[in-house]
Structure formats: structure tokens, C-alpha cells
Amino acid sequence: MKLENLARIDLNLLVILQVLLEEQSVTRAANRLHLSQSALSKSLNRLRETLGDPLFLRTAHGLKPTAHAVQLGKILPQSLQSLYQLTLPPSFTPHNSNRQFSFAMVESAYETLLPYFIGTLLNRAPNLKLDSFVWSENSMQAIQQGQIDFGIAGRELHPQSAFQVDRLPEGIAHQTLFTDHQLCLVRQDHPILSAVAAGHWDLTVYLEMSHVQVRCEGNDWWALDYHLADLGHHRRLSTIVPDFYGAASVCAHSDLIFTLPASFAQHAKKLYPLVELPLPIEFIPLAYVLLWHERSAEDPGHGWVKEIICESVAKAFLNSQN
């Protein structure tokens, strides 16, 4: 490595390049970096001159990275993370740290997991800033790019499920926090309850009912639906909503049945007069997993937060089983 060549590069330009690769828009990149479009365009011209490549081509849909820019995009996040590590203190002292950590979590985790570790984190490190976002189809990429520190998502074991631990993107590490199973909710006084009391509750009855479903990561189907399709069955998804609380409300005010993780069902029942029914089919469990990027392995603060999350959740679910 020729350090004298590196000395001629303004490292701030690498940050600008990374944001441009992520946004593929001068306007969005400028807004994110709090720069004028003119200033960003000048920086892009400097990048082109320094790297000897046009880097981006303008199209009707925004900036399209060149082949060289795509290659740079594969190594740039790791390089910037390494530079970021150089700016951190040599150790992490929780009680006086003002570090900021970001999370992307599936909606159900806000009720079922966040309360178990948020208090411990802030009691031991009161000056931390914790930013959280709802898990989406872009969250995994955000972890890869260093925009998000941690993800908490559901792992479905069906081979057609969108999220599989054995097919995680390169560099993404994980740890299972706890496993869950699915059950059904219906409103009190639902007509089906008399049939259930008489012993008439099976897959046939379940499939004859109309269902409310939560759309997850843009998908209307869950692993259960793929499993049923393999068996030649389909649920009648009459209403699809974007969140669990919305689905619970619809369930409480209609004759629709709601299939969901058992851990979230306990919270829904506190808000609405709902009755649990078992899922009338043997089905694989659901696991909630903590996700992060391997490049954070040497960051003591990141490791401390990860340890607190895993220990707090494990302790909470161990106590709930005793």
C-alpha cells in the first residue's frame, strides 16, 4: 500500500460515494448529508477525477452506478466501518457513553422483546441514544450498509419463506433469542366458539373461515400459507392490514379469525375481548433472531449491547417458563 497515494484522497468523498450508491439520487443524497445539490455535484466531480471513472450515469430513474462503482460498493461499507472504528474510544464504558445505536424490529418485537432489554440498557448506560425502526424489506440491506446496528426479525423455517437463517446475506451474523408458536384469535361470542365447544374444530373448519392477515415485508403470504399450499389448501384472506394491532382490532370487531405468534396474542387480549383457539394443524415454530453485521465484532460497545439484549431476553423467557 502506498500511503502517499492515500494522502491525496479526501476521505470525506468516500462517505459521499457511499451515500450516492445507497440513494442513487443527487437530491436525496444531498438532503441526507445536509449539503446543497451544487456542493454535492462538485464533490461527485472530484470523485470522478480522483478515481478516474464516471461512477454514475444519469437515467430517467436516477443515477445508475457504473461497473467500477458497483465494485467499490462491495468493499466500501467495510472500509468505512473500519475508519469509523478508529474514531471510537479504545474501550466502552456504559455509564458515561453517549454512543448511538439503531434497531430495526418486526412490529411484534416491540411488545414481546423490547420491554425486556430497553430498561436494562438505559439503566446501565443512561446517556445512550437508541433509535428504532420498523423492520421492512430494506432492513437487511441497511444492516449490511451500516445504517442499522441491529435487527430483530422472525425466522420462518419453511423453504419458501422470505427470511431464512441459512440464506442470510454475506457478513450477516445472528443469534436466536426465543422460539414461538402460532395460535388463532376470534372475538368473544364468535359463532365458531359453540362449534369448538362441541368438538368441531379442525383444518376443514379453519379453512372455511374468513381470515385477517398482517402484511409482512410486502408479502401477503406467511410461511403457513406456503405450507397449506403444499398440501393443496388456501386460506381465505379477506382482509390484509399492515400491522398486528390493526389486525387485532379487525378481529375484535368482525367474524374474521386472526392467526399470529402466541407471544403477541397475549398483548392483543389485553386490549380487546378476544379468545384463543389452537392452530388446528401441526406447524413449524417461529424463532425471533437478533441480526448484526460481522464487521462490528471488534466494537466493544456493539458487543455490550448485544450481550445485554441476549441475556435480558433469555432471562425473561426462562422466568416465564418457571
Pick from 234, 257, 239, 135: which is nearest to 187 by CA? 257
What are the grid coordinates assigned to 168, written together? 442470510
Contact predicate 109/152, CB 8 Å: yes
Q: Which of 269, 276, 322 is nearest to 111 (CA)?
A: 269
Integer angstrom CA distances of residue 167 from 77, 82, 153, 290, 302: 21, 25, 14, 15, 24
Calpha distance 274→266 (Å, rounded): 10
Does residue 64 carry a pLDDT above 60? yes
301 lies in the same domain as 250: no
189 and 275 fall within a common domain: yes
- Contact in structure between 14 and 79 (CB atoms under 8 Å): yes
Could you tell me if 166 and 202 lie in one domain? no
Same domain, yes or no: 124 and 110: yes
Residues 266, 230 within the same domain: yes
Q: Are 232 and 302 members of one domain?
A: no
Q: What is the pTM of this model?
A: 0.68
Rounded CA Rg of the chain: 24
SS (H, E, C) 257-317: EEEEEHHHHHHHHHHCCEEEEECCCCCCCEEEEEEEEHHHCCCHHHHHHHHHHHHHHHHHH
If asked whether residues 72 and 199 sit together in one domain, one would say: no
Query: Is residue 276 located within the same domain as residue 191?
Result: yes
Residues 56 and 200 in one domain: no
Q: Which three cell numbers stand for residue 39?
A: 456542493
What pLDDT, on the 0 to 100 scale, is given for residue 260? 93
State pLDDT tens for residues 114-166: 888 999 999 999 999 999 998 888 899 899 888 899 999 887 655 555 455 55
For residue range 34-51, what is the model confidence (pLDDT) as tens digits? 999 999 999 999 999 988
CATH number for the domain spanning 266: value is: 3.40.190.10
Q: How many domains does the chain have?
A: 3
Looking at residue 169, its pLDDT comes to 83
Q: Has residue 167 got a pLDDT over 90?
A: no
Grid cell for residue 71: 465494485
Over residues 7-22, the pLDDT tens digits come to 677 888 999 999 999 9
Domain ranges, residue 316: 95-179+287-321
Q: What is the pLDDT of residue 4?
A: 61
> What are the helix and strand counts (H, E) for the chain?
14, 12
111 and 159 co-located in one domain? yes
